[in-house]
């Protein structure tokens, strides 16, 4: 069965510093990978996705992620963090389910704290 591990429960960075959030997945086939962000009291918003092709994926809000098959990883990065980036970040792997849909299985999330 597919699974996603986000090893860091909390990450604290200073505003303007670079950021990397880790994500490792377990999936038997070529994965569909996603990063979502959740602000307090809100639903999840898609940051970026990887289906195929270029392993470096650009997303919204200046985020990017790199798919590394050899490491089963899909880490999220941002070169300079803004205070508004403080939120919960979820990595997800899409697995093929009955009916032909790829349903994401989510990691437990990483809470990003940004210091001024």
Tell me if 104 contacts another protein by CB under 8 A: yes
In the complex, least distance from residue 45 CB atom to another protein, rounded to whole angstroms = 7
Please answer whether residues 66 and 76 qualify as being in contact, where contact means their C-beta atoms are separated by less than 8 angstroms.
no
Tell me if 107 contacts another protein by CB under 8 A: yes
Tell me if 111 contacts another protein by CB under 8 A: no
Euclidean distance between the first and final Cα of the chain, in Å? Answer: 41
Sites for another protein among residues 35-94 (CB under 8 A): 36, 41-46, 49, 51, 90, 94
What whole-number distance in Å separates Cα of residue 87 and Cα of residue 112? Answer: 5
Rg value, the chain, Cα? 14
Please answer whether residues 63 and 89 qualify as being in contact, where contact means their C-beta atoms are separated by less than 8 angstroms.
no
Sites for another protein among residues 4-33 (CB under 8 A): 32
In the complex, the residues that contact another protein under the rule CB under 8 A are 32, 34, 36, 41-46, 49, 51, 90, 94, 97-109
């Amino acid at each position: 069965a597919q699974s996603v591990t986000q090893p860091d429960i909390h990450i604290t960075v200073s505003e303007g510093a670079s950021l990397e959030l880790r994500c490792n997945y377990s999936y038997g086939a070529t994965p569909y990978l996603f990063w979502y962000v959740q602000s307090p009291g809100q639903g999840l918003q898609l940051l970026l996705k990887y289906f195929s092709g270029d392993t470096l994926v650009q997303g919204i809000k200046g985020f990017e992620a790199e798919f590394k098959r050899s490491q089963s990883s899909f880490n999220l990065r941002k070169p300079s963090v803004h205070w508004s980036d403080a939120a919960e970040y979820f990595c997800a792997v899409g697995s093929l389910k009955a009916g032909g849909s790829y349903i994401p299985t989510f990691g437990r999330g990483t809470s990003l704290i940004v210091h001024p």
